[in-house]
Structure 1
Amino acid sequence: MPKKVDPAVKERAIRMVAEHRGDYRSLTAVAQVVAEQLGLGKETVRRWAVQADIDAGARPGVTSEESAEIKKLKAENRRLREDNEILRKASNFLRRGARPPQPLIMSFIEDMRAEGHAVESTCRVLTAHGCSVAARTYRAWRRSNQPVAARTVSDAMIVDALLATVGTPEGLYGRRKMTAHLRRQGLDVAHCTVDRLMRDLGMNGVRRGKKLRTTIPGRDGHRAGDLLDRDFTATAPNTRWVADFTYVRTWAGFVYVAFVVDCFAQRIVGWHAATTKVTDLVLTPVRIAMWDRDRHGHPIEPGTLVCHSDAGSQYTSLRYTEHLALEGIAPSIGTVGDAYDNGLMESIIGLYKTEAIATDVFHEGPFKTLVDVEYATAGWVDWWNYRRLHSSIGQIPPAEHEHDYYAALDREPHPV
């Protein structure tokens, strides 16, 4: 199932509907246009716009805050009813005063579970009335008759051997020497097993002191290397992405637009517009791109994707690089001041400025606010991905090129 819609996409849709509402005969009509440009459902966009009107006081109805409060009260009411039902059935052995024996407690939890009550709810009620019991205790009791896994037994033996080295010279060993030491003790262990268990125990071998450095690079002196080396081709989707952002002049000031492009078909998989150049400007399109890939059934596999960009401070920021690391995406940074190191993205941004900003095809009149830029960009991205012909992929749109790739992978074998 697709992930939840990114809040930035929802806010963008609401702004676009509000800005261009007067250009269409009804709210449904403008919602349909915005939904097609952003790749969302028409009814979803319409409901968002209606709820925004209610929250602003322009339409009668239940506000989001009131709806959340009602939902919270219903959940509390449901929990209280469940607690009362559990307490009523537990009154037989709770009235005795002394703590019931463990088999009786576990049997009662088992009965409540059979009636559809959660184990955590039953344990919470019992604990609140003087019979303290944890859900993990119940689950451990249920597993008591199951055989112990062989890995659990072997891990316990290795942990005992590791703890036996604490305070001894062997406790100074690192992973490799500790593995050799345990093997000499008669334990058949692997390097990876010793590494895992030592890490769990917080054990580390002694390290030599580091050499004092007298020259410290600047704060921006360390960044990811260039993993693409000006090769912006890819053999499959979701293996190489390029990212960059540009600016658009509006009456209200500069608007910055960031893009993320898949090199395989040059498809724009994520974009975001903002009035500031903070890290969120470049981080949001990455999140949107991952959400968009996931909802189309082609999620990003950790360790298979490289995301390339220039050496801008937003792309070298700690927050951005940490997000890539958490998602299993390898960062790639080009050299400073070299447009060729991110040539594909520079070319696409040039086409964006020429086709979407310098013309009135996607937006009539001057760009006054952020919403005007978003409206034009949404239309251009939709056209770029689904209808614009690209000579580099055989004069077909990027979406069609990707569709052909996945269709070839899913082709049924011919009978022999």
Structure 2
Amino acid sequence: MCRVLGINRSTYYAWLASRSDAVERQCAEDELAGQIRAIHVKSRGAYGAPRVHAELRRKGYAINRKKVERIMRERDIRGISRRKRRHLTKQDTKAAPAPDLVGRDFTADTPGTKLVGDITYLPTIEGWWYLATVIDLATREVIGYAMADHHRAELVTDALHMAAGRGGLQLGCIMHTDRGSEYASDEFRHEISKLNLRQSMGRTGIWQPRAFSDC
């Protein structure tokens, strides 16, 4: 057979001798992959390669992180990533923005006179969830919020509806947001009008003052 295929007999015997080692290495990698999957399942899908690697080291496995990354990539084992920034705010270019009634003055002396709203996102084991909040600038208190698996107009409208339902909003109270499509929607603007509030918009995605970075 070697003569017909044009292969040296020594090459064939070297390959034959290495087969058992290759099978042993594959079995060891399959066992390791099983441990990785078990750790991943136990974390409810949250752990990525760094945390899986740390858990393996705690279990006594002498393995480098690149190998863990390779095995997870080849077997499509993925954790929840928090590194990528998700930009939620999309300006509605067809809708005319409301005037800026705040002018970067994110202070208020009386509760219920000046509010700000925003949307953020939260990674969960069930996927991305979105949180809309309404903050009273006089008290720095979250007076309204809503959560959902989407960030359509009804999300921010529900948060505003909760804020109004608590009472205490003054006639002509300012509701300030960025120019995102959720806040420029007819649904949100109708709620603003129904509650006798004044809508205010800053530039897209940058309404929040630096003082709120730790809220």
TM-score range, shorter chain: 0.5 to 0.7
CA distance in 1, matches of 2:204, 2:119: 15
Q: After the TM superposition, which segments of 4 or more aligned residues of structure 1 sit over 4 Å from their partners?
A: none
Query: TM-score if structure 2 supplies the norm length?
Result: 0.54
Aligned residue for 1:323?
A: 191
Tell me, what secondary structure is at the counterpart of 1:261? strand
Aligned residue for 1:223?
A: 97
Per-residue deviation, 1:302: 2.5
Tell me, what secondary structure is at the counterpart of 1:343? coil
Aligned residue for 1:343?
A: 208
CA distance in 1, matches of 2:190, 2:135: 20
- State whether structure 2 residue 130 is matched by structure 1 residue 256: yes
In structure 2, the gaps of 5 or more residues are: 1-91
Query: Percent identical across equivalent pairs?
Result: 28
- State whether structure 2 residue 143 is matched by structure 1 residue 269: yes
CA distance in 1, matches of 2:156, 2:214: 19
Residue by residue over 1:176-204, the C-alpha shift from the partner in whole angstroms, topping out at 9 and shown as x without a partner, is: xxxxxxxxxxxxxxxxxxxxxxxxxxxxx
Per-residue deviation, 1:335: 1.4
- State whether structure 2 residue 108 is matched by structure 1 residue 240: no
User: What is the letter of the counterpart of residue 197 of structure 2?
Assistant: I
- Rg larger in structure: 1
Residue by residue over 1:36-73, the C-alpha shift from the partner in whole angstroms, topping out at 9 and shown as x without a partner, is: xxxxxxxxxxxxxxxxxxxxxxxxxxxxxxxxxxxxxx
Per-residue deviation, 1:322: 1.2
Q: Which has the higher contact order (CA 8 A, sep 6+)?
A: 2
What does 1:10-409 align with in structure 2 at a 5 Å threshold?
Answer: 218-220=93-95, 222-292=96-166, 294=167, 298=168, 300-303=169-172, 305-337=173-205, 339=206, 342-344=207-209, 348=212, 350-351=213-214
CA distance in 1, matches of 2:111, 2:161: 17
CA distance in 2, matches of 1:275, 1:224: 27
Query: TM-score if structure 1 supplies the norm length?
Result: 0.29
Greater fraction of residues in helix:
1
User: What is the letter of the counterpart of residue 263 of structure 1?
Assistant: L
CA 1:319–1:264 in structure 2 vs 1: closer, same or farther (change >3 Å)?
same
Tell me, what secondary structure is at the counterpart of 1:249? strand
User: What is the letter of the counterpart of residue 242 of structure 1?
Assistant: V
CA distance in 2, matches of 1:218, 1:278: 16
User: What is the letter of the counterpart of residue 343 of structure 1?
Assistant: Q
Q: Could you tell me whether the CA contact under 8 Å between 2:164 and 2:195 is conserved in 1?
A: no
CA distance in 1, matches of 2:175, 2:93: 24
Q: Could you tell me whether the CA contact under 8 Å between 2:121 and 2:131 is conserved in 1?
A: yes
CA distance in 1, matches of 2:187, 2:201: 15
CA 1:316–1:218 in structure 2 vs 1: closer, same or farther (change >3 Å)?
closer
Per-residue deviation, 1:351: 3.1
Per-residue deviation, 1:272: 1.0
Tell me, what secondary structure is at the counterpart of 2:163? helix
CA distance in 1, matches of 2:123, 2:214: 16
CA distance in 1, matches of 2:211, 2:128: 21
Residue by residue over 1:323-363, the C-alpha shift from the partner in whole angstroms, topping out at 9 and shown as x without a partner, is: 101111000011135x2xx123x754x435xxxxxxxxxxx
Q: Could you tell me whether the CA contact under 8 Å between 2:133 and 2:144 is conserved in 1?
A: yes
Tell me, what secondary structure is at the counterpart of 2:155? helix
Per-residue deviation, 1:258: 0.7
CA 1:307–1:218 in structure 2 vs 1: closer, same or farther (change >3 Å)?
closer
CA distance in 1, matches of 2:204, 2:140: 24
CA distance in 1, matches of 2:153, 2:93: 20
The alignment of Structure 1 onto Structure 2 pairs a total of residues equal to 124
